[in-house]
Chain A
Amino acid sequence: MNAQLEATPEPGAHPLAGTPMTGADIVVQVLADEGVGVVFGYSGGAILPVYDAVFRFNHEHPNADGSEPLPLIVPANEQGAGFMAQGYARASGKVGVALVTSGPGATNTVTPVRDAMADSIPIVVICGQVPTAAIGTDAFQEAPISNIMASCAKHVFLVTDAAQLEATLRTAFEIARTGRPGPVVIDIPKDVQNAPLVFAGEGQLAIPGYRARLRAIEDAELDEAACARFVDALAQAKRPLLYVGGGVVAAEATAALRTFAQALGIPVTTTLMGLGAADTTEALSLHMLGMHGTAFANYAVEDCDFVIAVGARFDDRVAGVPSQFAAGARFIAHLDVDPAEIHKVKRVDWHHLGDLSRALDALRRHAAARGFDPSGVGTWSDWHAHLADLKHTYAMAYDRANPRIQPYAVIEAINRLTRGEVIVSTGVGQHQMWAAQYFDFTQPRRWLTSGSMGTMGFGLPAAIGAQFARRDLLVVDIDGDASIRMNLGELETVTTYGLPVKVVVLNNCGDGMVRQWQKLFFKGRFSATDKSLHKKDFIKAAQADGFEYAVRLDRPEDVDRVVAEFIAFPGPAFLEVMIDPDAGVYPMVGPGMTYGQMITGDHIPSRAPAPAKEAGPSEMF
Chain B
Amino acid sequence: MVVVRGLHFSINGRVIFSGIDLNVRRGSVTAIMGPSGTGKTTLLRMMTGQQRPDSGNVEVDGQDVGALGRTQLLDLRRRMGMLFQNGALLTDFDVFENVAFPLREHTRLPERLIRHIVLTKLQTVGLRGAAQLMPAELSGGMARRVALARAMVMDPRLLVYDEPFAGLDPISMGVVLRLIRQTNDALGITSIIVSHDVQEICSVADTIYLLSDGSIAAAGTPQDLNGSDAQIVRQFMQGLPDGPVPFHYPAPDYHGQLLERAP
Q: Answer whether A and B are interacting partners.
A: no
Q: Which of A's residues lie within 8 Å of B, judged by CB?
A: none
